[in-house]
Amino acid sequence: MKTNFYTRLRSASILIFAVMLISRSYAANEKAVWPFTLNCPSDVTVSCTDEIWDLSMYGNATYTYGYHTYSAGSPSVHYYLNSCNAGYITRTWMVEDYNWNWHSCTQTIYVSSSGTGGPNIVWPLDITLEGCNPNTHPNQLPDLYDYPSWVSSECSMLGRSYSDRLFTVNSQCKKIMRTWCILDWCDYHPSTGYKQYMHSQFIYIINSEPPAINCPAEITVNSLNCKNAELIVAPLTIDPGTCGGNYEITNNSPYSTSKGANISGTYPIGTTKVKYTVKYGCGNFKSCTVNVVVKNGSKPIPYCIGTLITALMGVDTDGDGLVDDGMVELWAKDLDKGSKSLCGYHPLKFSFSPNVNETNKVFTCDNIGKNDVKMYVTDSKGAQSYCVVEIIIQNNGANIPNCHPEPDEPEIPLYSVRGTIQSVSDFPLDKAEVTLKYVDPIITYSSTFDTTETLQLDSFINASGYKLYRYLTVTTVTEKIDSTVSFVTKKTKTNALGQYLFDSLVVRDKKVSISATYTDAPKKGLDNKDVELLTKYLLGEISFNNYLQYLAADIDEDGEIDIEDQNILMQLVTNEISKLPGDNQWYVLDRKATFANPEDALTLALPYEVFLDTIAKDSNIVDFVGIKKGNLSIDAGSVVSQEVSSRSAKVEETSLKVYPNPFTTVLNFDLNAAAEGKVMIRLMNSLGQEIHTSVQTAIKGKNTLTIDVNNDISGLVLYQLTIDGVQYTGMLSTVK
């Protein structure tokens, strides 16, 4: 039984397997006849700005088997793009069918570089730079002014460059037009080339520092025609400064010939305010005003009698009934012979001196003989002139005893040159050396005579008819003329009154020059007062009113008055040096010389010599004036304060006392302040170097400000205290 069961079971299994095998074979034969299709997406063309990294949006491959469609899976992707993101991309699918056959297809995605729109470029902004030649390279400019920037695009590859064009308005105003160019290497067209983007950036270079204008406060000229006067001045010049000096200068004078830097022209009597305007930088302006004052220089024409002879009247001065003195009174008007004013400034006044009230003069026995008096004529405008009248006082009918003329003073020799040499304060310079030099050589001639005797044969016929011979002595005189060329120079010295005299000058028709020199001890007359005045000048507190003081203040003779001059003068006063630089310590110049502006003496030629074309019969008077280098405190009126009225009021309200003097290290400043405020205290040594600076607070009223100077200093010390715009300066000395 059991064997049959297993036998039947095995037979059934074999039968089932056979059925299955037959069924599968049938199914396989059935599929083999179904179509298999691989479906690939179409080729597309996109822009480089499109999405090219997720390519599924451009389709995916499928395959169809029978009546069903299935995904072909993920493709194999290859990018063939250049640096501009242009080119093509391939997507390849491979699928194996049921018969173990492989199928493939490829989609090509073409990528073009023709993107839409340009790059978003931020161009650098325009900028203004201060100074003469600032660095304009983009690396040196701040952000937003240096380089252009942009957001990169997938379709572009941008590069930048620039070029500069400099436009110069003047030395202080320049403009740079910087042209930026951005080129897209990915945007090329055969007809137009590469795509470019252009922009102009402007860089302005400006020196806005205003120039220093040396504008005179007043220019004075005299009118001689009662109406106007011709003004001739040098053009206004300006220090070129650090950036050069191409300044544009104009003036608004209605009378100037030109409207530029020169205000010369014909101006009417009175005061004309003329404004100089200086254009600097890029259209900036600075101005200053000068008063052109034309004074009526027309003086009255004096006309007086040449000689007046009058006698004294007897006078009994002691009341004894006897004449013991004499007198006569004359009036200046009595000497007039028709004086007049060309400008009609009448009435005229007559006097014996510039004082119009000295209208009469009394002559006594002391005036017996010749008297030269001056008759002054003064018009209604105050202009004066005079003529000289010879008044001869006689003692005739009055028969005054002991009334005789004084013996005549010796006359000044003919053919002479004389004069005086004085300091600026009219102090005579004793033993000053004066030199008179003939400009051209003097040629003198001398003759010598040579005499020779020779025998000469002579013949004659006597009374008998015979011819006779004889020797005669013949004398021959030969003149020989020699010439000598010499440059004649004469020297003399002044006396205690500062007077000199060259007399008995034989050569009278030749041009001569007269000059003078003077020397004394190097430190004589120089002290701390001169250093203080020079310091105040440098601080702008005073100015000089005499051109000789400008010369005296230029210690190193470099044509400028600066801190170096102060240092040298201070070194002399403190015995650090024994003399001032230069060969001459004194300037001795023609007293008649003038300068339109006193400070011009620093740069213009100085009148060391006075020239005379000939030596006239009348005495020639040539006067000189001298000033010592460094001697600024020549008299009380030698400097002019620069302080304005408002500042003067503050000075009156505020007072200062500095002590001790001399000091060691501690200084006290007793300050009576007009109001509360900050106080700046500065100390400088003899070299002009700052040795202390401090700022303290002062209350209204009395203050004692103390400073401690730890520096190792010696010699003179300049202090400078400033409060509320008012500045105090002074000199101190240290304890040695």
Q: Which residue shows structure tokens 């509360």?
A: 676
Are 696 and 705 a contacting pair, CB within 8 Å?
yes
As a whole number of angstroms, the distance between CA 686 and CA 715 comes to 7
Cβ(593)–Cβ(607) below 8 Å: yes
Structure confidence at residue 27 (pLDDT): 47
How far is Cα 299 from Cα 341, in angstroms, rounded to an integer? 7
Q: How far apart are CA 484 and CA 122, in angstroms?
A: 93
Output Rg (C-alpha) for the chain, integer angstroms: 56
Closest of 704, 708, 706, 707 to residue 671, by C-alpha:
704
Gap between the terminal Cα atoms of the chain: 153
Residue 546's pLDDT is: 79
Q: What 3-state class would DSSP assign to 376?
A: strand
pLDDT at 17: 52
Task: Name which of 329, 328, 380, 384 is nearest 351 in CA terms.
Answer: 384
Identify whether the C-beta of residue 728 lies closer than 8 Å to the C-beta of residue 652.
no
- For 593, residues 6+ apart whose C-beta sits below 8 A from its C-beta are 607
Structure tokens at 149: 């920037």
- Chain-centroid distance, C-alpha 563: 16
Please state the φ and ψ torsions of residue 121, each to the nearest 5 degrees. Answer: -100, 135
**What is the per-residue pLDDT for 643?**
40
CA atoms of 551 and 559, how far apart (whole Å): 9
Burial of residue 498 (CB within 10 Å: 0-12, 13-18, 19+) is buried
Query: What local confidence, expressed as pLDDT, does residue 381 receive?
Result: 81
Whole-number pLDDT of residue 345: 83
Could you tell me the pTM of the whole model?
0.36
What number of other Cβ atoms are within 10 A of residue 520's Cβ? Answer: 14
- Residue 647 has a pLDDT of 37
Q: Under a CB-based contact definition with an 8 Å cutoff, are residues 453 and 653 in contact?
A: no
Q: Compute the distance between CA of residue 442 and CA of residue 459 in angstroms, rounded to an integer.
A: 53
Asked if 111 and 52 touch (Cβ cutoff 8 Å), the reply is: yes
SS3 487: coil
Task: Retrieve residue 279's tokens.
Answer: 């254009």
DSSP-assigned letter for residue 615: -
Contact 274, 235 (CB under 8 A): no
Would you state the structure tokens that stand for residue 189, as one six-digit string?
Answer: 């067209």
Calpha distance 154→83 (Å, rounded) = 10
* Euclidean distance between CA atoms 178 and 333, whole angstroms: 85
Query: Quick one: tokens of 26?
Result: 């049938």
Residue ranges in the chain modelled with pLDDT below 70 = 1-33, 114-118, 152-154, 241-242, 244-245, 397-399, 405-414, 442-485, 616-619, 634-654, 686-688, 711-712, 725, 735-736
pLDDT at 45: 87
For residue 616, the Cα-to-chain-centroid distance in whole angstroms is: 46
Residues 623 and 498: their CA atoms lie apart, in Å, by: 10
